[in-house]
Amino acid sequence: MATTPEAAGVQRTAKPTLNSIARATGVSRQTVSNLLNDPDRVAEPTRTLVNDEIRRVGYRPSAAARQLRTRRSHLLGFRMRPSGDGINGSIHDRLLHALTARAHERGYSLLVFAAADDAAEIAAYQELRATNALDGFLLTGTNHGDLRSDWLREHAIPFVAFGRPWGREDAATSQVHDWIDIDGGAGTDDAVRTLAAEGAARIGFLGWPEGSGAGDDRFDGYLRACRALGLPCDLVERVEDGFENGAEAASRLLARGIDALVCVSDSLALGALAQMRGSGREELMAHLVGFDDTPVARAVGISSVDQPIEEAARRMVDLLVHRIEHPDSPPPQNPVELLSPTVRRRSPANTY
């Protein structure tokens, strides 16, 4: 890689270091260090002098050296999940992006890693923690009896989850660990009420099989609203996620007579939409609500429950950073938080 010196006029100087700028300004090395970490400790004459030199040479502290000394990497771990359906997966993408942005604002970076299953994820924690000294982890997709959170807690590793610790009676308020979640039940509740206010009397529910935390939660919201409104609450189909399944289940619901439909995902909603059209029940298309407000729903014009992902990401990072930087002071914000989603009302594109 022998670059001829004259060829690179721009920046042929060696990488600036604490030492080099100390020499250049005639102060000692730790004065420079102090200036960076605790500016008030250094008096005015030297302060600007050193500051100017720092800017002049474009000095940036070495994360490795700092990490070696402070045992902090300023790195947060995030596991990449397989794209899955992809329609709903876009929300994962959105979360990652929001987390990255917020972490950056707080002086942290995200280290992403792939893991096939939860066991592999735990192994990754261990490895990343030991070698790369990750300061904490951001979890997604918590499920019943989640092994990951247990492991992390046992090892006293800071983390915050997107999703409640499901499977506990007190899931919605449980403080077994820090978490931020979206109140899915409130979303379906709201959807039912919106539909009912528009005149729907037989509102169907198209959800996931019993057993998934988020799915059950959304089902509960449907139940709650229908009962409160005195509407039938047995127009229910619960199937695995996916377009095809949505279409099939919707056809059964259609046969039983519904005049509106709430779905727990946009994949299912899209399938239902197709079924409605296929069955010549186009008038129902405007009374269909999906979940996640994915780009597909926006494009096709399906109403959907919009989750405040960016807000959730902000809180997750803030909470985690607090746990890392002030391990034994209580966080300024609630360590468990249920955020409310919003129903985005729209009607299928007229051409569609």
> Footprint of DNA on residues 55-84 (CB under 7 A)?
59-62, 65-66, 68-70
| Binder of residue 18, out of DNA, its own copies, none (CB less than 5 to 8 A by kind) | DNA
What is the nearest approach in angstroms of its own copies to the Cβ of residue 145? Answer: 20
Dig out the tokens for 320 from the structure. Answer: 């985690």
| Binder of residue 270, out of its own copies, DNA, none (CB less than 5 to 8 A by kind) | its own copies
Q: Is 46 in the site for DNA (CB under 7 A)?
A: yes
> Footprint of DNA on residues 12-41 (CB under 7 A)?
15, 17-19, 27-31, 33-34, 36-37, 40-41
| Binder of residue 127, out of its own copies, DNA, none (CB less than 5 to 8 A by kind) | its own copies
> Footprint of DNA on residues 265-294 (CB under 7 A)?
none
What is the nearest approach in angstroms of DNA to the Cβ of residue 41? Answer: 5
Alpha-carbon 56 to chain mean position = 39
What is the nearest approach in angstroms of DNA to the Cβ of residue 75? Answer: 15
Long-range contacts of 18-21 (CB under 8 A, 24+ apart): 18/61, 20/57, 21/50, 21/53, 21/54, 21/57, 21/59
d(CA 286, CA 283): 6
Backbone angles phi, psi at 72, to 5 degrees: -125, 130
Q: Which is nearer to DNA, 41 or 144 (CB)?
A: 41
The arrangement of strands across the sheet holding 303-306 comes to 236-238, 203-207, 260-263, 288-291, 303-306, 342-344
Q: Which is nearer to its own copies, 64 or 197 (CB)?
A: 64
Give every CB contact of residue 144 below 8 A, 6+ residues apart in sequence. 166, 167, 211, 213
Quote the Cα angle for 142-144-148, to 5°. 50
Dig out the tokens for 287 from the structure. Answer: 């009374």
Alpha-carbon 203 to chain mean position = 30
What is the nearest approach in angstroms of DNA to the Cβ of residue 73? Answer: 13
Q: Which is nearer to DNA, 40 or 210 (CB)?
A: 40
| Binder of residue 55, out of DNA, its own copies, none (CB less than 5 to 8 A by kind) | none
Q: Which is nearer to its own copies, 126 or 175 (CB)?
A: 126
Q: Which is nearer to its own copies, 148 or 193 (CB)?
A: 148
| Residue whose C-alpha is closest to residue 206's, from 273, 144, 143 | 273
| Binder of residue 307, out of its own copies, DNA, none (CB less than 5 to 8 A by kind) | none
Residue type, 214: A
Q: Is 51 in the site for DNA (CB under 7 A)?
A: no
| Binder of residue 4, out of DNA, its own copies, none (CB less than 5 to 8 A by kind) | none
| Binder of residue 143, out of its own copies, DNA, none (CB less than 5 to 8 A by kind) | none
Spell out a b/e string for 261-274, using b for 16 or more CB atoms within 10 Å of the CB, else e: bbbbbbbbbbbbbb
Backbone angles phi, psi at 304, to 5 degrees: -155, 155
Q: Which is nearer to its own copies, 24 or 115 (CB)?
A: 115
Q: Which residues bind DNA (CB under 7 A)?
A: 15, 17-19, 27-31, 33-34, 36-37, 40-43, 45-47, 59-62, 65-66, 68-70
